[in-house]
Structure 1
Amino acid sequence: MTDLVVPAVINLDVPGPVISRHLYGHFAEHLGRCVYGGLYVGEDSDLPNAGGIRLDVVEALRALDVPNLRWPGGCFADEYHWMDGVGPRDRRPVMVNTHWGGVEESNHFGTHEFMALCELLGAEPYISGNVGSGTVREMSDWVEYLTRDGDSPMVRLRRANGREEPWRVKFWGLGNEAWGCGGHMRAEQYAAEARRFGTYCRDHGGNRLYRVAAGANGDDYAWTETLMKQLGDLGCAHRPAPFMQALSFHHYTVPGSWEDKGDATVFDTDDHYRTMVAAARVDELLTGHSNVMDCYDPGRNVGLVLDEWGTWWNVEPGTNPGFLYQQNTLRDALVAALHFDVFHRHADRLVMANIAQTVNVLQAVILTDPDTGALVLTPTYHVFEMNKGHQDAASLRVDLPAGLPSREVGRASLTTVSLSASRRDGRVLVSLSNLDAAEAVDVELDLRGGAVADVRARVLTAGRLQDHNTPAAPDVVAPRPHEVSATGSGLRVPLPAHSFVTVEGRLA
């Protein structure tokens, strides 16, 4: 027990907006060892696999209840031509991955392999189409190939390639980062392209598309406004246009400069706090983009998607700079925990988020060793697992009568305690983070409108913020049981320094 106690009030009987499970989405790009050597090892591999898909990775991801997987990029999406990745693998043409390392891409992992992976995961596919270097017909044919039944040229091709029945593919991205690697377009230019591509991406049969326009970089609110103008008029009479159902934006946590982002494992306390300030900015950005969208869509019919987020460090020494391989410490886990609390507060507008990336790239949840084949669950993985009870749960408002502790970091003020709560199927989940590097704090939960029984708490922390998991020491940062105590009106939850805690119980 510490001297610092933060009171928090949660009304268990007043549910708020539902936290879409798709806020816990993932992203797999043809980049470095994310696909090849991560998700896909080939049928000739000594590692257990199904059609080349690595089964221990599948098992680990299934434990997270992965709701969706975005593919094939990223920047790679706008140079990817899907027809090169179907049919017999030995006949698929080789291409050069010009964005990521200039390596040869075999196209052995293509549409059928990706859909098989999604089926193994129980995840919905989210496909990013090629707007930058592709054609409207190419993307329209891809939609038809995947989702149409009956008879058509693309249906016959799919059947010739071994798939009789169509798949259901709801989520489609209309390009990626059109302001940059996706074509270096102006907002007005991209908006016109998105209207064209979105128009010819058709609904086939019972498959209804959810088209996501490629949105802004960070705080480019003018880009968001330009896209919203294409969706309808100002005011309450707004009706979403049929060619776009959502728009995206991207935000990475980069506390250093773009040229020197900082090291994933070698950092000091000041670096940690600067990282937390950079991560917390996602709240400002979500608010800013939502405010722009509200002017054109007050009914909040158009979704906001953050389909790339996470920490971005300098690559690990000795690795290919184009592969974006980085370690993952307790600091990264706290970044993830903070993001999820923010996502939950924006659940009325934010409909999807995708961490970058699933395996071996950037803030990965899984790392695989190229020499031994060992699989490592990162600290970030454990945040996803501990938080999965929030998926499709009703958010619960958290009131803080005495505010939250904070500290000055340069010219910024960092709130050092973060929390969110939800209820689903008669259970309550509260997530709490202490971002302070050295000081512990207790949070006293005043639970009103109900009671919670059979309480179970877990904590994710370590001796140092720099601690991480390796094949030789896979559980240095892993969740462990945690003690909480009952109070007259709820629970008292100790938060050690630099820790993430979840408290779960049954509504009594």
Structure 2
Amino acid sequence: MATITAVVNLDLPGPTISRHVYGHFAEHLGRCIYGGFWVGEDSDVPNVRGIRRDVVDALRALGIPNLRWPGGCFADDYHWEDGIGPRDQRPRMVNSHWGDVVEDNSFGTHEFMDLCELLGADAYISGNIGSGSVREMSDWIEYLTRADDSPMATLRRANGRDEPWKVPFWGLGNEAWGCGGNLRVEQFASLARQYATYTRDHADNRVYRIAAGAHEDDYHWTETLMRSFDPLDRDDRPATPFQAVSLHYYTRTGSWAEKGKATEFSTDEWYLALSRASWMEELVARHSTVMDRYDPAKKVGLVVDEWGTWWDVEPGTNPGFLYQQNTLRDALVASVHLDAFHRHADRVVMANIAQTVNVLQAMILTDPESGALVLTPTYHVFEMNRGHHDAAALDVHLKGAPEKEVDGRTLGLVSASASTRGDSALVSLSNLDADTAHTVTLDLRGRDVVGHRARVLTAPELAAHNTASAPETVAPRDHDDVRLRDGRLEIDLPAHSYVTLELTLSPTPSQPLVPR
């Protein structure tokens, strides 16, 4: 069993890891909205005004910080006025991107904002630039956030909502390089400035505007958007037209036509998926470097608002619904991504895993026949990481960690990140080795540790996953393989596992490290 050392200076906090890095994404796609979040008020499934109660409870347990809606590609076909007013009078539309099904618009603006209030989550709305108009977007933000007797506020009251909502995050289009209009970046940069100008702050609602950014390693897209900003190095600079740019990247082991199987994969494919997931670190670093040229003070945020695994759909399901199982491999893909976001907390201000329920790398799966709710392995990684929300990032210096050459890249087989808040700290450790356990020696410096608790997420099989009949196949449990030795903590990482270590810190340096 190899031994690895991780040096953590507990007294040198870095930038804050925004809780919004743990954001989620809900698109009108497959069974994410309908059958996932929304069952209707007449459903036998317990609900609050048509919204599934158990889904809300599960997501509240994660401390869900924000929810992105209505897309995705759907956003640039969506006209918000079709989704307000009496549900039985709302016009229908064709969801041409996802299954070519008819959308009845029964879940619209009021239902989404009600969902956000039930979740205690901030709303992140993606506006329609691809097929919409400047006026349409301007009217939508007025409808949502204005308090007086303006035309849109009056219309909102007529539809049953007196008080305005808070909408802190607004997306200016989605994937403008593809389904959002097939635009050249120079075209989109001009449109984004224009639309941002009319996405106004009303009363005390301050909107954080996020311009649709690059696909994977399109650094030219990011550079062009950054060049479109007004100068950022003047104290008296005018407000920038948008406050962040986005980035999209999905992990797969095959081509876009054949992306790889969710539950049937070889050990080589295990490593290939994790190697490709680790590319996120490079993508974030290089896009950040481009942004640094124009914004060295890091006033503009990078928002990774679509990320996760994208596998072939489960056999027998609609190929346009993107329903896939979620295994232990997906959980470690998530942990690798989250470690990268933690390490780049100075620039990455938000991220949104795709998607929350029943689509792609979901937190939750709902059984369409029994109505049962299943928490996925990825859900558990998010829950185990709650201690990182709004905590100060800590550098983790790994020494002696094993590596493996995969697909022309070097994959570190142990990934780690850490953070601190008050008199506590959280260390997250991923063992990506499919077959071998490793021991990590934690050299914790700068503050005394007076207690600890470890938890582990693993399973006997690499493709282990949860189902309605076996919902606890992959679930966290207490991990007792932690020892105090020579003033340091040793922790054993089982093969293919995810481990978190919660530390209780002394406010004074005089108390010794003791095992809990």
Equivalent of 1:323 in 321, 324, 328: 321
1:67 Cα deviation after fit: 0.3
Equivalent of 1:428 in 425, 428, 431: 425
Equivalent of 1:409 in 403, 406, 409: 406
Cα distance between partner residues in 1 of 2:11 and 2:354: 35
Q: Mean Cα displacement is larger for which, 239-248 or 388-397?
A: 239-248
Cα distance between partner residues in 1 of 2:93 and 2:77: 10
2:459 corresponding residue in structure 1: 462
Q: Deviations over 1:31-71 (max 9, x none)?
A: 00000000010001001101100000000000000000000
Equivalent of 1:304 in 302, 305, 317: 302
1:442 corresponding residue in structure 2: 439
1:404 Cα deviation after fit: 2.0
Verify the 8 A CA contact 2:15 2:393 in the aligned structure 1: yes
1:138 corresponding residue in structure 2: 136
Cα distance between partner residues in 1 of 2:378 and 2:266: 20
Verify the 8 A CA contact 1:20 1:393 in the aligned structure 2: yes
Structure 1 residues 14 and 34: alpha-carbon distance in aligned structure 2, compared to 1, 3 A threshold: same
SS at match of 2:10: strand
SS at match of 1:354: strand
Equivalent of 1:53 in 51, 54, 59: 51
Structure 1 residues 79 and 426: alpha-carbon distance in aligned structure 2, compared to 1, 3 A threshold: same
Equivalent of 2:261 in 238, 263, 267: 263
Task: Work out whether 1:393 is the aligned partner of 2:391.
Answer: yes
2:509 corresponding residue in structure 1: none
1:240 Cα deviation after fit: 6.9
Q: Deviations over 1:83-142 (max 9, x none)?
A: 000111111111110000010111010001000100010000000000000000000000
SS at match of 1:226: helix
1:405 Cα deviation after fit: 1.1
Cα distance between partner residues in 2 of 1:502 and 1:63: 17
Cα distance between partner residues in 1 of 2:145 and 2:486: 56
Task: Work out whether 1:418 is the aligned partner of 2:415.
Answer: yes
Alignment of 1:339-354 (within 5 A): 339-354=337-352
Verify the 8 A CA contact 1:451 1:490 in the aligned structure 2: no
Verify the 8 A CA contact 2:169 2:208 in the aligned structure 1: yes
Verify the 8 A CA contact 2:3 2:400 in the aligned structure 1: no
Q: Deviations over 1:209-262 (max 9, x none)?
A: 100000000000000000001113486779574320000010000121111111
Paired residue type of 1:331: R
How many pairs align? Answer: 505
Equivalent of 1:481 in 478, 482, 495: 478
Cα distance between partner residues in 2 of 1:386 and 1:125: 24
Structure 2, unaligned stretches of length 5 or more? 507-516
Cα distance between partner residues in 1 of 2:241 and 2:255: 37
Verify the 8 A CA contact 1:235 1:295 in the aligned structure 2: no
Paired residue type of 1:292: V
Cα distance between partner residues in 1 of 2:89 and 2:311: 38
Task: Work out whether 1:172 is the aligned partner of 2:170.
Answer: yes
Task: Work out whether 1:313 is the aligned partner of 2:311.
Answer: yes
1:403 Cα deviation after fit: 4.0
Q: Deviations over 1:312-345 (max 9, x none)?
A: 0000000000000000000000000111111000
Q: Deviations over 1:376-428 (max 9, x none)?
A: 0000000000001100000111123x342101123221110000000113211
Cα distance between partner residues in 2 of 1:507 and 1:409: 39
Structure 1 residues 240 and 461: alpha-carbon distance in aligned structure 2, compared to 1, 3 A threshold: farther
Q: Deviations over 1:7-45 (max 9, x none)?
A: 111111110000000000000000000000000100010
Q: Deviations over 1:456-481 (max 9, x none)?
A: 11000000110000000000000011
Cα distance between partner residues in 2 of 1:117 and 1:382: 22
TM-score under structure 1 normalisation? 0.98
Verify the 8 A CA contact 1:236 1:299 in the aligned structure 2: no
SS at match of 1:322: coil
Identity of aligned residues (%): 67
Cα distance between partner residues in 2 of 1:324 and 1:409: 27
SS at match of 1:39: coil
Cα distance between partner residues in 2 of 1:241 and 1:226: 18
Q: Deviations over 1:144-169 (max 9, x none)?
A: 00001111000100001111111110
1:505 Cα deviation after fit: 2.0
Alignment of 1:174-253 (within 5 A): 174-233=172-231, 239=237, 241-253=239-251
2:70 corresponding residue in structure 1: 72
Task: Work out whether 1:37 is the aligned partner of 2:67.
Answer: no
Structure 1 residues 507 and 252: alpha-carbon distance in aligned structure 2, compared to 1, 3 A threshold: same
SS at match of 1:263: coil
1:151 corresponding residue in structure 2: 149
1:84 corresponding residue in structure 2: 82
Q: Mean Cα displacement is larger for which, 236-245 or 153-162?
A: 236-245
Structure 1 residues 239 and 24: alpha-carbon distance in aligned structure 2, compared to 1, 3 A threshold: farther
Q: Deviations over 1:245-293 (max 9, x none)?
A: 0000100001211111110000010000100110000001001100000
Indicate the RMSD between aligned Cα atoms, in angstroms.
1.1
Verify the 8 A CA contact 1:234 1:295 in the aligned structure 2: no
Verify the 8 A CA contact 1:236 1:297 in the aligned structure 2: no
Verify the 8 A CA contact 1:332 1:379 in the aligned structure 2: yes
Cα distance between partner residues in 1 of 2:114 and 2:439: 46
Cα distance between partner residues in 1 of 2:404 and 2:175: 35
Cα distance between partner residues in 2 of 1:161 and 1:425: 45
SS at match of 1:213: strand
Structure 1 residues 234 and 68: alpha-carbon distance in aligned structure 2, compared to 1, 3 A threshold: closer
Cα distance between partner residues in 2 of 1:224 and 1:455: 42
Cα distance between partner residues in 2 of 1:334 and 1:55: 28
Cα distance between partner residues in 2 of 1:409 and 1:201: 45
Paired residue type of 1:113: E
Cα distance between partner residues in 2 of 1:150 and 1:486: 62
SS at match of 2:385: helix
Cα distance between partner residues in 1 of 2:406 and 2:34: 40
Cα distance between partner residues in 1 of 2:159 and 2:63: 30
Cα distance between partner residues in 2 of 1:234 and 1:406: 40
Q: Deviations over 1:165-201 (max 9, x none)?
A: 1111010000000000000000000011101100011
Equivalent of 1:471 in 464, 468, 472: 468
Verify the 8 A CA contact 1:428 1:452 in the aligned structure 2: no
1:377 corresponding residue in structure 2: 375
Cα distance between partner residues in 1 of 2:236 and 2:439: 46
